[in-house]
């Protein structure tokens, strides 16, 4: 009986010792599961640059004749804006201001009934477009959008009649613009876009003074109505902040 009791006591001591040893062993850390990435959203603001081509049609009606010139050139500049994507929806609204310089420069010549040779040189120095836009995120990181608003342009003309320089006129013109494009958010904080825009500046009256007193224009003041329309195709890159957060 005593022997059996000693055996039970030894077994109990051995079990307690094995449990204590197991408790002293290092435990395996739980496997870390990273949280899912934040949902892609267009909510936020951006700053970027763009480059492309611009195509313009300009005309000047002097009453004694009309000059029309088609021209194409380089356009490039920058843009800044903000977007808001509605929670649980692909719809995006925003606004943007884009300023681009251009290389548009084209002249034209006509001869009136009196045999006067009239040459007009058109120049377009820059565009500044302030637009609102409405878009739809049709796939993660992809936005299809349309836009429209007001546009300003710095236009100038130089007039030469019968070889005499009549000087020029310069004016900042106001018109409207509409267009659209597609934008791709290719990595955190960066997006690229391709878009096309149309600009219409209507008709404005310009006048230049004939300092040579040639008598070609009544009162030595040549007045003319100038019209301009233009279109641009641009590619651009935007740096965005606020990317990756849940929509407000």
CATH of the domain at 136: 2.40.160.20
List, in sequence order, every residue forming a beta bridge with 148; answer none if it has no partner. 132, 178
Let me know if residue 35 belongs to a domain.
Answer: no
Interstrand relation of 164-187 and 142-161 (parallel, antiparallel or unpaired):
antiparallel
Count the domains in the chain.
1
Ordered per-residue pLDDT tens for the chain, 248 residues: 555 555 555 555 655 555 555 555 456 667 767 666 667 789 999 999 999 999 998 877 776 667 777 889 999 999 999 999 999 899 999 999 999 999 988 777 777 666 777 777 888 889 999 999 999 999 999 999 999 999 999 988 777 777 777 667 778 889 999 999 999 999 989 999 999 999 999 887 777 776 666 666 666 677 777 788 999 999 999 999 985 554 43
In a domain, 248, yes or no: no
Domain that holds residue 208: 42-241
- Is 139 inside any structural domain? yes
Residue 141 lies in a domain: yes
Backbone angles phi, psi at 10, to 5 degrees: -65, -40
* Whole-prediction pTM: 0.77
Q: Domain for residue 182, yes or no?
A: yes
Residue 223 lies in a domain: yes
């Amino acid at each position: 009986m005593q022997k059996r009791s000693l055996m039970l006591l030894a077994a109990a001591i051995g079990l307690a010792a094995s449990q204590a040893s197991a408790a002293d062993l290092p435990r395996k850390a739980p496997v870390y599961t990273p949280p899912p990435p934040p949902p892609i959203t267009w909510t936020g603001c951006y700053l970027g640059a763009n480059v492309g081509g611009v195509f313009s049609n300009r005309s000047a009606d002097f009453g004694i004749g009309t000059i029309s010139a088609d021209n194409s050139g380089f356009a490039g500049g920058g843009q800044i804006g903000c977007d808001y994507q509605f929670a649980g929806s692909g719809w995006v609204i925003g606004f943007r201001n884009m300023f681009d310089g251009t290389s548009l420069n084209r002249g034209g010549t006509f001869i009136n009934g009196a045999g006067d040779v009239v040459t007009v040189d058109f120049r377009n120095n820059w565009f500044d477009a302030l637009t609102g836009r409405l878009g739809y995120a049709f796939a993660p990181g992809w936005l299809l959008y349309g836009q429209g608003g007001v546009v300003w342009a710095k236009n100038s003309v130089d007039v030469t009649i019968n070889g005499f320089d009549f000087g020029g006129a310069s004016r900042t013109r106001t018109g409207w613009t509409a267009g659209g494009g597609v934008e791709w958010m290719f990595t955190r904080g960066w997006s690229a876009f391709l878009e096309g825009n149309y600009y219409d500046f209507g008709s404005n009256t310009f006048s230049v003074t004939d300092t040579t007193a040639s008598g070609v224009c009544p009162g030595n003041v040549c007045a003319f109505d100038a019209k301009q329309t233009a279109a641009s195709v641009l590619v651009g890159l935007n740096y965005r902040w606020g990317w990756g957060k849940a929509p407000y």
